[in-house]
Amino acid sequence: MKHLILDGYNLLYRARHSMFHRSGDHSTVYAFFRSLRPLIEKMNPDVISFVLEGYPKWRYDLLPEYKGQRVRDDKDNFRAQKDKVIELLKACFPINIIRHPDYECDDVIANLVWNKGDDDECVVVSSDTDFLQLSALPGVRIYNPIKKSYFDPVDFDYVGWKSLRGDGSDNIPGFKGIGNKRAMKLISSPSELEKFLSIDENRQLFEKNKDLIGLREIPDFFSSSEQTYTTPNWPILREHFTDMEFFSIVNDKSWGKFIATFDNLECAPLTTLYG
């Protein structure tokens, strides 16, 4: 079985700035669905999981300023458009929508990957490099939808390396004077790393950063996660798309091709698809 796992918010923000973006109240909705079909055609999966964010209170307890530098604007009514995309996915598409209330999307995706069958293939779609933690696992590939290419698997301790240099995108501070090269030199030399960490405050920050950056196993993952899945409802979807004037999708020539993309997808409980 081939699993296509979509980093939901990553793709939604990509749609906000997509080449398919256009003016109007539904610009992000249009760009998202206009981009979805070619992605699925390229990957040809058996199962699609669209993963949403929860609230990782434990990360904010470790670092109250976690992601605190991010500016969230709603100039283009993005929140309502994001909600519209999720509403349509839940109501009309044979796609599994998955969320855990207490964990980030990244952790949920990692748990899906860790629970796949031994012979299954997983493609994670996201431009977030934190998924490189999964890249060396058998049958797992990480696809960057911006560059339209797969990430190369890493052959080093990615979490340790990033814990040394920090992660500006999540507001996680690294060590002063340590950039990519110095972090790689340390992580590649156990003796040099241990010497660096012999200073208590260095070890404390390093271990804290590893907790923040590392993907985390979720207890009782299958029973504690929220999942929505449905059978296709193409007539209702076409009504919505028509109301939003997505004529390039709903015209008679394009519509059949659009919905045929989703013909063979499987929607089922997580315990059936994984584990």
Q: Residue 23 above 90 pLDDT?
A: no
Give the whole-number percent of the chain exceeding pLDDT 90.
88
- For the chain, the structural domain boundaries read 2-154+217-273, 158-213
Do residues 86 and 52 lie in contact, with contact meaning Cβ atoms separated by under 8 Å?
yes
What's the average model confidence in pLDDT over 206-225?
A: 96
The whole-angstrom separation of Cα 262 and Cα 256 is 11
pLDDT at 215: 97
What's the rounded Cα separation, in Å, for the pair 172 and 177?
15
85-103 exposure pattern, b = at least 16 Cβ within 10 A, e = fewer: bbebbeebbbbbbbbbeeb
The structure tokens 């076409």 sit at 238
Q: Indicate whether 17 pLDDT > 90.
A: no
Residues 6+ apart with CB under 8 A from 15: 21, 28, 29, 31, 32, 35, 85
Give the pLDDT confidence of 140-169 residue by residue, as tens digits.
999 999 999 999 999 999 999 999 999 998
Would the pLDDT of 43 be above 80?
A: yes
**pLDDT greater than 70 at residue 249:** yes
Q: How many CB atoms lie within 10 A of CB 79?
A: 11
Q: State which amino acid sits at residue 150.
A: Y
The pLDDT value given to residue 20: 61
Write the DSSP assignment of 57-106 as a string of letters: HHHHHH-TTTTTT-----TT-HHHHHHHHHHHHHHH-S-EEEE-TTS-HH
Span 158-213 CATH architecture: Orthogonal Bundle (1.10)
**Cβ neighbours of residue 204 closer than 8 Å, sequence gap 6 or more:** none
Q: Whose CA is closest to 12, among 53, 40, 42, 41?
A: 53
2-154+217-273, CATH topology level: Rossmann fold (3.40.50)
Cβ contact 103:219 at 8 Å: no
Does residue 237 have a pLDDT over 70? yes
